[in-house]
Amino acid sequence: MKKFTLLIDGNNFIFRCMWGEFKRTKKSILSSDYDVDKFIKKMIIEFSSLIDEFKPICNDVIFIQDSKSWRKTLLLQHEYKGNRAADRALIDFNGLQKSTDAFIEVLRKTNVKVSVLDQCEGDDLIFGWSNYLMDKKISSLIHSTDNDLSQLLSANKDTHVIQYSLAKKSFFVCKETKEYIEKKNPHNDENLFGELMNVVDIQNEDKIKDYIKEVGMTVIDTEDVRFKKIVTGDKSDNIFPVYYKPAEDGGKSKGIGDKTCDKIKEEFKTRIGDSDFNYKVFNNDESIKVLCETIYDVMGINDKQFTKRMLAENIKTNFKLVTLSSDSIPKNIQESMSHHIADVEKTPFVALSKLNKTELFKNSKFKVYNVSSSSKIFKGVEDDGDMSFING
């Protein structure tokens, strides 16, 4: 196991910094120059702390930002991420833009790779980068509290995609990664796949494994994550369940919760077979037909105004909205990401040891580091949402 490239979910990072620094009050956040300067300093300090924290297992970093999403065109009946007005109302967006522009300028001046592309959410670019790096046999460590990204966890021999969740204070890994990390290297100077390794390689790999084991691992079933997101929707992104009936005459709305979803999943797996249960079933008309019948049977749906054809369309739409894969992201978006990643890769390499507070502040308008750092990154901030409402 070689060192990772750290993929930072930029909007997640920015908003966790903001809510860690400012309280949610009626006062407009970032409306003064004082607040703007304070926030820029906060982001520089926390970025440096984050790098310092993961320096033992990472040797490169990419800061990934959101842009206006292509998914907006898929939801006509209600706005994608249109349920975040309460938080938007608290923020002075001119101040936020000024702060983040200044922070990004600091990163660019320090030769940190910054990745932002029109029509792409950060999630899309993290998918693109993790795939690109996997093809180059480079492991990725996703830093984000957004649980949607756990669907990207994977392993291919000694190359892995893992995620660190601050809210859980644990590394999210797939089953294969956990098995790889817990299995000791043989003493014949070969790795698990019979490839020759020298003593230094073995020692470095052991250090990386020990670091991850010490922090802790949570095994995530990526197929379960995708299935649940598609069937139940995503309330934080204003994505409804595939079956949803609004409340009438003071009654309750009806949708699909986690417990019902689990029943649907188990029955669906019985009908199609465990071996065929993966996210590709949502891209297959016959499998979708079986899923529609399963949902109707498990929920006992008897709604003449809601047909199985409507249910099938909702399944296909949610698949595109919540799944990060080459089957769900439009081909033109994938091509744009590919060209963009190649361009960003031309950024001169910077050693993580150079990304300390002193060097970062030198590239800011403050020039010197004269504020105290938090003892622990994002101390007191425990939210596990994606926090990407700004451009969504």
Task: Give Cα 243 to chain centroid, integer Å.
Answer: 26
- pLDDT value of position 69: 86
Q: How many CA atoms lie within 13 A of 148 on its CB side?
A: 28
First and final CA of the chain: distance in angstroms?
A: 35
User: For residues 392, 74, 122 and 335, what is the CA-based torsion angle, rounded to 10 degrees?
Assistant: -140
pLDDT in tens, the chain (392 residues): 789 999 999 999 999 999 889 887 757 889 999 999 999 999 999 999 999 999 999 999 999 999 988 887 775 454 545 444 556 678 899 999 999 999 999 999 999 999 999 999 999 999 999 999 999 999 999 999 999 999 999 999 999 999 998 888 999 999 999 999 998 765 444 444 444 444 445 578 889 999 999 999 999 999 999 999 999 998 888 889 999 887 777 678 888 999 999 999 999 999 998 878 888 888 889 999 999 999 999 999 888 888 999 999 999 999 999 999 999 999 999 999 999 999 999 999 999 999 999 999 999 988 766 554 443 444 444 445 554 544 54
For the chain, the structural domain boundaries read 4-220+349-362, 222-322
The predicted pLDDT at position 73 comes to: 74
Per-residue model confidence (pLDDT) at position 378: 46
What does the pLDDT read at residue 194?
A: 41
Query: Given the DSSP bridges, would you call strands 139-143 and 4-9 parallel, antiparallel or unpaired?
Result: parallel
CATH 3.40.50.1010 fits 4-220+349-362, yes or no: yes
